């Protein structure tokens, strides 16, 4: 079984309307993930960095604004996005260096998994603000529309090394349980960050089963509804 | 000009500057792997288990136990793959103090406890679920991890490396991460340390060069700096780690940042590997090259 992979990352912003603080390591995280997955027999569909990463790649067309997710983020099985994030009003925002068509992508314009997307890494801050039901379900219950799992961080995090993405990609590509691999590869005891993996399911048992056991071999085991979320985090 | 707000207290400095130490090349082979397996109470023979290898590790599996030894660092992970991070529907109710006591005893039993160490942090692996009523159900802790830092000549070891972590579930030990290189002799004595304010000043200049909007400095640490699992490292050097939060122009987008710089006036080489350069991309076409 082969999984298709797409990655987007942003290190460099400009002093314009989309201005944010410059980042390091985002290219190495995203491309490292992609390279590790490809080395294990999976396929790379796209790699968009800096100004080539666009908000429309995540916006579902039903929300207008040139939404093109069905041709990009939702046209692959595994998407890795490395950048800034911010979470307010129960909406996650991701920052782009070029307005195409917005500077900020917003999770309330996403229908993740409407087509092919099964797993999304949001290697950003503020994937959730805490681990309460309201923080997790109010942000992710809506946008998860068939996607199996999301991997991200609670509050802020700091990249310690260039290899976090490639390490996670190696584990994922070797069919490790995805949630455990994410938590293992991204938790840093020195910095005390909080990685989190969120799984969806039509029932509680399904969501928990995915959280505990899902590997990339589960690609074709569809999530028929996101009635339940099950999450796992280290802190 | 980056706005910099220093919230951190500066670390106290030792009376005598800690020297730069050598890190002998790790002894990593199938023989040391099997010897290590036996020290972890496995049978540690090719008949009892299986050996596997790749470009960065040697591995040994026996029953449900995996031992992985890293070629570059000599670091290893010993785990029970049937229990580590696995949800067996239990809830671990160990207090921090009880977990630390158990973890110390385990490290002593395996002769892995450094001569001097301190507890950096205790972390917990949590699980939870919620359904249509958006109420948390089944929130449990499935392991408690005690993260130790070795202390060398009175200075804690920090960085991606410099850790011994013991993971405990409801039945006991599930995994040990030993990411702490063997320390050799003095390579170079240090006549003086930079002041910690010097590290903040260097960090500020770096942030200015990056054109950052605003930065809060949350913590400044003096440590011996150790790299991660797959990095080669020849010297253990005193360093400052500056932990900061980068704040974006509208103040709603924040991210962590780590700045590392030598603490000594006569440091050796680079502390941190250079960040790999990205591959240049052609400008994307209007339709996105579909």
Q: What is the pLDDT of residues B95-130, one digit of tens each?
A: 999 999 999 999 999 999 999 999 999 999 999 999
Residues of chain A with pLDDT under 70: none
The pLDDT of residue B250 is: 86
pLDDT above 90 for B33: yes
Q: Does A141 touch chain B (CB under 8 A)?
A: yes
B163 CB contacts (<8 Å, ≥6 apart)? A189, A190, B120, B147, B148, B149, B177, B179, B180
Residue with tokens 């590509």: A173
- Helix A164-173 / helix A178-186 crossing angle, nearest 10 deg: 160
Do A159 and A166 contact (CB within 8 A), yes or no?
no
Q: Do B128 and A133 touch (CB under 8 A)?
A: yes
Q: What is the pLDDT of residues B125-142, one digit of tens each?
A: 999 999 999 999 899 999
Q: Residue B288: which pLDDT band, with cuts at 50, 70 and 90?
A: low
The pLDDT of residue B289 is: 60
A103 CB contacts (<8 Å, ≥6 apart)? A17, A18, A55, A95, A96
Q: Residue B287: which pLDDT band, with cuts at 50, 70 and 90?
A: low
The pLDDT of residue B276 is: 81
Q: Which residues of B touch A177 (CB under 8 A)?
A: 85
Q: What pTM was estimated for this model as a whole? A: 0.97
Specify the range with the lowest mean pLDDT, choosing from A179-183, B47-51, B269-273. Answer: B269-273
Q: What is the pLDDT of residues A152-204, one digit of tens each?
A: 999 999 988 889 999 999 999 999 999 999 999 999 999 999 999 999 999 99
Half-sphere exposure of B200 (CA within 13 A, CB side): 20
Find the closest chain B residue to A228 by CA distance: B131
Q: Which residues of A touch B281 (CB under 8 A)?
A: 47-50, 52
The pLDDT of residue B274 is: 87
Q: Can you tell me the distance from the alpha carbon of B248 to that of B255, in angstroms, rounded to the nearest whole number?
A: 9
**Whole-number Cα distances in Å, B47 to A55, B35, B50, B60, B195:** 56, 14, 7, 11, 56
CATH number of A4-233: 3.40.50
Q: Do A184 and B85 touch (CB under 8 A)?
A: yes
If you compute the radius of gyration of chain A from its CA atoms, what whole number of angstroms results? 16
Return the number of CB contacts < 8 Å for A and B. 178
Q: Does A138 touch chain B (CB under 8 A)?
A: yes
Task: Give kind and range of the element (H or E) at residue B258.
Answer: strand B254-262
Residue of A50, A137, A232 with shortest CB distance to B126: A232
Question: Over pLDDT 70: what percentage of chain B?
Answer: 98
Which residues 56-75 of A are in CB contact (within 8 Å) with B?
56-57, 68, 71-72
Do A62 and A108 contact (CB within 8 A), yes or no?
no
Q: Classify strands A78-82 and B57-62 as parallel, antiparallel or unpaired.
A: unpaired
Find the closest chain B residue to A25 by CA distance: B275
CA A9 distance to own-chain centroid: 11
The pLDDT of residue B225 is: 98
Comparing C-alpha atoms, which of A13, A31, A53, A25 is closest to residue A157?
A25
pLDDT above 70 for B290: no
Q: Does B248 touch chain A (CB under 8 A)?
A: yes
pLDDT above 70 for B227: yes
Domain spans, chain A = 4-233
The pLDDT of residue A226 is: 96
């Amino acid at each position: 079984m082969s999984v298709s992979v797409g990655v987007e990352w942003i290190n460099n912003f400009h002093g314009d309307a989309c201005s944010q603080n410059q980042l390091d390591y985002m290219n190495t995280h995203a491309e490292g993930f992609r390279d590790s997955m490809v080395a294990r027999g999976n396929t790379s569909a796209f790699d968009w960095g800096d100004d080539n990463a666009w908000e429309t790649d995540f916006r579902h067309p039903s929300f207008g604004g040139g939404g093109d997710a069905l041709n990009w983020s939702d046209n692959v099985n595994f998407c890795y996005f490395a950048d800034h994030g911010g979470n307010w009003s129960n909406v996650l925002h991701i920052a782009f260096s070029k307005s195409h068509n917005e500077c900020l992508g917003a999770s309330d314009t996403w229908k993740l998994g409407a087509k092919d997307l099964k797993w999304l890494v949001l290697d950003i801050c503020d994937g959730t603000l805490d681990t309460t039901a309201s923080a997790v379900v109010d942000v992710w219950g809506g946008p998860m529309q068939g996607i199996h799992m999301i991997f991200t961080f609670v509050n802020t995090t700091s990249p310690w090394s260039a290899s976090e993405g490639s390490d996670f990609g190696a584990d994922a590509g070797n069919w490790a349980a995805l949630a455990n691999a994410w938590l293992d590869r991204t938790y840093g005891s020195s910095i005390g960050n909080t990685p989190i993996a969120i799984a969806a399911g039509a029932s509680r048992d399904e969501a928990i089963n995915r959280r505990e056991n899902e590997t990339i071999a589960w690609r074709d085991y569809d999530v028929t509804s996101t009635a339940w979320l099950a999450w796992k985090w280290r802190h | 000009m980056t706005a910099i707000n220093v919230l951190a207290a500066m670390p106290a400095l030792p009376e005598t500057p800690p020297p730069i130490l050598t890190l002998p090349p790790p002894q990593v082979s199938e023989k040391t792997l099997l010897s290590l397996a036996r020290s972890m109470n496995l049978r540690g023979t090719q008949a009892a288990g299986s050996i596997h290898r790749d470009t960065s590790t040697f591995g040994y599996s026996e029953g449900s136990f995996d031992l992985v030894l890293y070629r570059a660092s000599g670091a290893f992970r010993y785990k029970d793959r049937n229990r580590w991070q696995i949800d067996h529907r239990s809830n671990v109710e160990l207090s921090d103090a009880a977990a630390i006591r158990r973890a110390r005893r385990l490290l002593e039993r395996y002769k892995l406890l450094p001569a001097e160490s301190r507890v950096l942090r205790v972390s917990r692996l949590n699980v939870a679920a919620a359904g249509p009523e958006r109420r948390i159900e089944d929130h449990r802790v499935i392991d408690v991890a005690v993260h130790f830092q070795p202390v060398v000549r009175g200075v804690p070891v920090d960085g991606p490396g410099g850790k011994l972590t013991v993971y405990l579930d409801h039945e006991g030990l599930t995994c040990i991460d030993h990411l702490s290189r063997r320390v050799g002799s003095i390579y170079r004595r240090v006549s003086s340390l930079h002041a910690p304010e010097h590290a903040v000043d260097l960090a500020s200049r770096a942030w200015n060069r990056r054109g950052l909007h605003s930065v809060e400095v949350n913590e400044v640490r003096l440590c011996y700096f150790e790299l991660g699992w797959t990095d080669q490292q020849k010297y253990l050097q005193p360093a400052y780690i500056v932990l900061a939060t980068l704040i974006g122009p509208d103040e709603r987008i924040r991210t962590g940042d780590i700045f590392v710089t030598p603490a000594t006036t006569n440091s050796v080489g680079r502390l941190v590997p250079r960040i790999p350069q990205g591959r240049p991309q052609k400008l994307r076409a209007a339709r996105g090259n579909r």
